[in-house]
Amino acid sequence: MNSTPRGPALFVADAAALDFLNSIATPVDEPVDWIDDGNGWLDWLKQSGWVEDEILQRLQAQAMPGELETVAAQARSLREWFRGFVLKYKGQPLEASALTELEALNRLLERDEKYTQITLQDGDTPKLAWELKRRWRSPDSLLLPLGEVLAQFVSEEDFTNVKCCEGPSCTLMFVDHTRGRKRRWCSMAVCGNRAKAAAHRERQKKVIDA
């Protein structure tokens, strides 16, 4: 898809799970998919900060030919499945009955391998602390932090505040955490300014036509 240069990924949703949905968007005129191949998937994860650079580099080095492409395709499939779920329930409280539709996400979470380690906590006086770690056995384990983010979102976020940008051609979604819940745009710098410019042109046209 990406004849259009990717550029920096968009993180404007005020919710990590929706930033993942926004990894495909139309920032100007042409749609851009930041995870349309294996390298794009790794680059998007790096920008998101969900996975340490060292882990990404190691998994990239050990990946078999085509393996990262396969994982990127799985990430895209998960993205579109979750988009359908969010669009179905946005703007209303998420009921407990929605659990039956989250089986695919629970199956992904079942694959996780986490463990704890005693480490030294940084500070003026280092002290012992426990730290949760994950076994990154293969490139498909890169889907695990994604599953965790989506699970946290459906468990903790108020779906009443989930919105789509009102920009005519914009596909971005966000959670409205503003006071009064009056946010309308993915970004005032993009769609907000476009709307202001369009409203100004309309006012000017009315003056001329008057």
Q: CA-CA distance, 4 to 22, in Å (whole number)?
A: 16
Residue 10 forms part of a structural domain: no
Q: Rounded to a whole number, what is the distance in angstroms from the first to the last CA of the chain?
A: 46
pLDDT score for 180: 93
Number of separate domains in the chain: 1
CA distance 210 to 204: 10
DSSP H or E segment with residue 132: strand 127-134
- Residue 126: inside a domain, yes or no? no
pTM over the 0.75 mark? yes
pLDDT at 172: 93
pLDDT for the residue 29: 74
Q: What is the pLDDT, as a whole number, of residue 128?
A: 94
Could you tell me the CA-to-CA distances from 150 to 59, 83, 106, 109, 191 in Å, in that order? 22, 11, 10, 10, 26
Whichever domain contains 201, its CATH number is 1.10.3300.10
> What's the rounded Cα separation, in Å, for the pair 59 and 175?
32
The range of the structural domain enclosing residue 64 comes to: 16-112+141-209
Residue 199 lies in a domain: yes
pLDDT tens, the chain, 210 aa long: 444 567 899 999 999 999 999 999 987 778 899 999 999 999 999 999 999 999 999 999 999 999 999 999 999 999 999 999 999 999 999 999 999 999 999 999 999 999 999 999 888 888 999 999 999 999 999 999 999 999 999 999 999 999 999 988 888 999 999 999 999 988 876 686 665 555 545 555 555 665
Rg (CA), the chain: 20
| Most distant pair of Cα atoms in the chain: their distance | 75
In a domain, 69, yes or no: yes
Q: What pLDDT shows up at residue 6?
A: 77
Domain-embedded: residue 9:
no
Asked if residue 122 belongs to a domain, the reply is no
Q: Is residue 95 part of a domain?
A: yes
Q: Is 136 a member of any domain?
A: no
Our CA dihedral for 36, 39, 40, 41, rounded to 10 degrees, sits at 90
